[in-house]
Chain A
Amino acid sequence: MAEILSVRDLTMRFGGVVALNRVGFDVRKGSVTALIGPNGAGKTTVFNCLTGFYRPDAGAMRLMGADGVPLDLMELMGRPFQGSDWVSPRSFARRLYCKMFGGAALAARAGVVRTFQNIRLFKEMTVMENLLVAQRARVDNRMVSGIFQSSGYRRAEAEALERAWYWLDFFRLSEDGNRLAKELAYGRQRRLEMARAMCAAPRLLCLDEPAAGLNPNETRELADWILALRRGHGVTVCLIEHDMGLVMEISDHVVVLDHGQVIASGRPERVRDDPVVLEAYLGAPEGAEEGV
């Protein structure tokens, strides 16, 4: 199977802190890839780069497009202006476009959709509205046809609603459709965030600690859902997770980060038994810090 995402030499610095140091990994199409590592290892930073919230200092990120043409995510984010951009009008227009509209929104449109470590919902809106907002591509955005409720608009709206109901049912939130998002219990808010991400029609779904704060039952359900997403909906999942039980159960491939570097990657069992990984998690023995 082909890679849907390949990351090479991703480097990101914040002042003196090297958050990512030449990170590289591949995500196979239709797989579940887990990104693990201790706190502050740089996992969320990888997601922020992938989804266009941060501009990496160096490296390459390629996403396989739906049509099989690889897409350069770095280019999508818009590199800073360079001398030559000011000369050629076309290049200038493209740069300006990326500067104004580039980054996260374009990455999302390319199919990289994420959830957040600390849930980010549209709190004062209802659950259904949250899901409708996410269906950017499916709704009819034309003003006039919306104001006068043309038949085409109504059809598009009905389709979007149907889609939203589908994902509500999928995540067992159907009875909450008309409640405000802020009124939901924590576990349900997490589910709503995932449902919303699915409504944005992702090709690569990035889940940032989806099981954080869930009880064991909810974590079980989450595992089933992620497996169902990948099996029944052709979604490739990339997840950051601390719950090793969950990671072992659902992931096909594990990448271990520590201090911004990939220290191990491979099949879950292999990674679990890797002494380097144990060391990173349990703390290095005396005097072992030098090599990092």
Chain B
Amino acid sequence: MPRKLWDAVLAGVVALLLFVPLTGVSLSGYTLEGHWQRPLWLAVGVVLGRLLLGWFLERRQRMVGTTRRPGWITAWIDDHRPYIVIAAVIGALLVPWWIGKYWLNVAILALIYVLLGLGLNVVVGLAGLLDLGFVAFYAVGAYTYALGHHYFALSFWAAVPLGAMLAAGFGVVLAFPVLRMHGDYLAIVTLGFGEIIRLILNNWLEVTGGPNGLRVPFPSLFGMDFGRRASPGHVTLHEFLNIPYSNEYRDIFLYLLLFLVVCGMVFLVRRLRRMPLGRNWEALREDEIACRSLGIQPVTVKLSAFGLGAMTAGVGGVFFAASQGFVNPTSFTFLESAHILAIVVLGGMGSTGGVIVAAVVLTVLPEVLRDFAEYRGLLFGCAMVLMMMWRPRGLMGIRRARFHRSEVG
């Protein structure tokens, strides 16, 4: 205890020394004015903060090596998991019919972020490869559809697999040079890659249209259009079904389709985590040297994680382009990568459920709290720091596969 007190007092003195010249004096006209209370309060704040931090670190120290008891939230979620999943699925299926066009678009965006979060979660959360340029693959997907339509009249249904494959290809190509890199270096290279892709899209005017972007058509369903009037050689959905026209149908359709894709991805990740490949991803995150000593090739494991992550982002990109009806490079800035990373971190790295919740919350919350838009970055930042310190594995914790001995020994 005295040690911590001593630390706090010391921090307070240092803070006082710093804050007196920084905040204690201000220029008013031609005279200097002293505000002696300000630095004092700041220093008191620092002392309290330091005390709290010391207490927190000590508590953590004591918990090292002990089995962590799940909190009541985790326990409750674990007990009711099937009901929660069923309720979430039913809720997600009902939502688009009620909420109106504006919120429907928000919901589609939220689902796209869920997809992106799940993809990046494979790379960062499971394989432990910090990728700050994830948005590049998202852009590859979106532009596959946009450019493919522009030059080759590619349809949405062809753009999805093509975008996925192209993005995966880019992912593997990028992964090759960075195979030997770890942590910070990897983060910087991927960051650069993301910017390169965006700059190419921005500056290659003849091909990509540059900042003006490209128009993207809306997908059709079995050759039926969603518009009020059919394009030549097509019928429209409302005429075919003999129902009144509404411009919400297309968004509902896109939402449901996206929901299906997300479900597929959740299933895939769930399976992979219980398969050799998924276990190898996590093992690689935990200790690459131990992996090599057991005969696991980090090369193939890393490439597969990067490839799958990029593929998911590619699919997300195609959906993004389709839902917006238009793409341009401003949608693919570094901030977007940071946003997806925030989803993964806040969701708890490696936790599927956490990532889904975080993606939805981080997309819907800014829409609700429009008045606080200025403080968004600050709130995100604080939340991320707190998560990393307090619950790096997410609010819900991560459920690991449990094994039981079969009857026959």
Task: Write the residues of chain A forming the contact surface with B, with a CB cutoff of 8 angstroms.
Answer: 51-53, 100-101, 103-106, 108-109, 113-114, 116, 120-126, 128-130, 132-134, 136-137, 139-141, 143, 146-147, 149, 158, 161-162, 164-165, 177-180, 182-183, 185, 196-197, 200
Residue of B285, B295, B402 near A178 (CB, 8 A) is B402
Question: Using a Cβ cutoff of 8 Å, how many contacts connect chains A and B?
Answer: 120
Closest to B290 in A: A120
Residues of chain B at interface, number, CB under 8 A: 35
CA distance A197 to B290 in the complex (A): 10
> Across the interface, which residues of B come within 8 angstroms of A133, CB to CB?
276, 279-280, 283, 291, 294, 296
Q: Please, which residue of chain B has its CB at the minimum distance from the CB of A108?
A: B295
B275 contacts which chain A residues (CB < 8 A)? 143, 146-147
Q: Give min CB distance, A106 to chain B, whole Å.
A: 8
A-B contact pairs, 15 of them (CB 8 A): A105-B292, A108-B293, A109-B295, A113-B293, A123-B286, A123-B287, A124-B286, A125-B283, A129-B283, A133-B283, A136-B276, A136-B295, A141-B277, A178-B402, A182-B65
A-contacting residues of B (Cβ < 8 Å)? 65-67, 179, 268, 271-272, 275-277, 279-280, 282-283, 285-287, 289-299, 393, 400-403, 405-406
Which residues on A sit within 8 Å (CB–CB) of B405? Answer: 165
State A143–B269 Cα separation when bound (angstroms): 12
On whether the beta carbons of A183 and B67 are closer than 8 Å, the reply is yes
Closest CB in chain A relative to B64 CB, distance in Å: 9
User: Once bound together, how far apart are the Cα atoms of A132 and B282, in whole Å?
Assistant: 12
Q: Say whether, besides A158-B406, A183-B65, A129 and B401 are in contact (CB < 8 Å).
A: yes
Pick the 4 closest A-B CB pairs, nearest first.
A108-B295, A104-B292, A122-B286, A120-B290
A139-B276 CB under 8 A given contacts A129-B401, A165-B405, A178-B403: yes
Is B287 within 8 A of A121, CB to CB?
yes
Given A100-B299, A128-B403, A178-B403, is A141 in contact with B290 using a C-beta cutoff of 8 Å?
Answer: no
- B290–A105 touching, CB < 8 Å: no
A146 touching B277 in the complex, CB below 8 Å, given contacts A108-B294, A113-B293, A165-B405: yes
Q: Is there an interface contact between A122 and B277, defined as CB atoms closer than 8 Å?
A: no
Known: A121-B287, A125-B279, A165-B405. A200 touches B400 (CB 8 A): no
Q: Tell which of B290, B293, B298, B393 has the most Cβ of chain A within 10 Å.
A: B293
Which residues does chain B contribute within 8 Å of A123, judged by CB atoms? 286-287
CB-CB under 8 A from A177, the residues of chain B are: 403
**Chain A residues closer than 8 Å to B296, beta-carbon distance:** 105, 133, 136
Residues of B within 8 A of A147 (CB): 268, 271-272, 275
20 further interface pairs, Cβ-Cβ under 8 Å (given A53-B289, A141-B277): A108-B293, A108-B294, A120-B289, A122-B287, A124-B286, A126-B401, A128-B401, A133-B283, A133-B296, A147-B268, A147-B275, A161-B403, A161-B406, A162-B406, A178-B400, A179-B67, A183-B65, A183-B66, A185-B65, A197-B294
Chain B neighbourhood of A105, CB < 8 A: 291-292, 295-298
Q: Are B282 and A125 in contact (CB under 8 A)?
A: yes
Which of A108, A114, A124, A146 has the most chain B CB within a 10 Å cutoff? A124
Query: A158 to B179, alpha carbons, bound, how many Å?
Result: 33
List chain A residues, Cβ under 8 A from B286: 121-125
Known interface pairs A105-B297, A126-B400, A136-B296. Does A143 touch B290 (Cβ–Cβ under 8 Å)?
Answer: no
Once the chains bind, are B406 and A116 in contact (CB under 8 Å)? no
- Residue of B with least CB distance to A101: B297
Q: How far is the CB of B244 from chain A (nearest CB, A)?
A: 42
| Contact residues in B for A121 (Cβ distance below 8 Å) | 286-287, 290
Q: Return B390 CB to nearest CB of chain A, in Å.
A: 16
A57 to chain B, nearest CB (A): 21
The CA of A101 and the CA of B281, in the complex, are separated in Å by 17
The distance from the CB of A242 to the nearest CB of chain B, in whole angstroms, is 21
A136–B294 Cα distance when bound, in Å, is 8
Closest A residue, CB atoms, query B65: A183
Residue contact B272 to A122, C-beta cutoff 8 Å: no
Q: Contact check, A122 vs B283: say whether CB atoms are below 8 A apart.
A: yes
Q: Which residues of A sit under 8 angstroms from B65, Cβ to Cβ?
A: 182-183, 185
Q: How far is the CA of A114 from the CA of B123 in the complex (A)?
A: 28
User: In the complex, which residues of chain B have a beta carbon less than 8 angstroms from the beta carbon of A179?
Assistant: 67
Report yes or no: B292 in contact with A53, Cβ–Cβ below 8 A. Answer: yes
Nearest residue, chain B, Cβ from A178: B402
Contact at B297–A140, with CB atoms within 8 Å? no
Partner of B294, one of A113, A128, A182: A113
- Provide the residues of chain B in CB contact with A113, threshold 8 Å: 293-295
CB distance from B374 to the nearest CB of A (A): 37
Q: Are B268 and A141 in contact (CB under 8 A)?
A: no
**Minimal Cβ-Cβ distance residue in B for A135:** B276
Across the interface, A124 reaches (CB within 8 A) one of B282, B291, B299, namely B282
A139: B residues at CB distance < 8 A: 276
A143–B277 touching, CB < 8 Å: yes
Q: A185–B299 Cα gap in the complex (Å)?
A: 32
Q: How far is the CB of B220 from chain A (nearest CB, A)?
A: 30
Candidates A116, A140, A165, A185; contact of B293 at CB < 8 Å: A116
A128 to chain B: closest residue by CB: B403
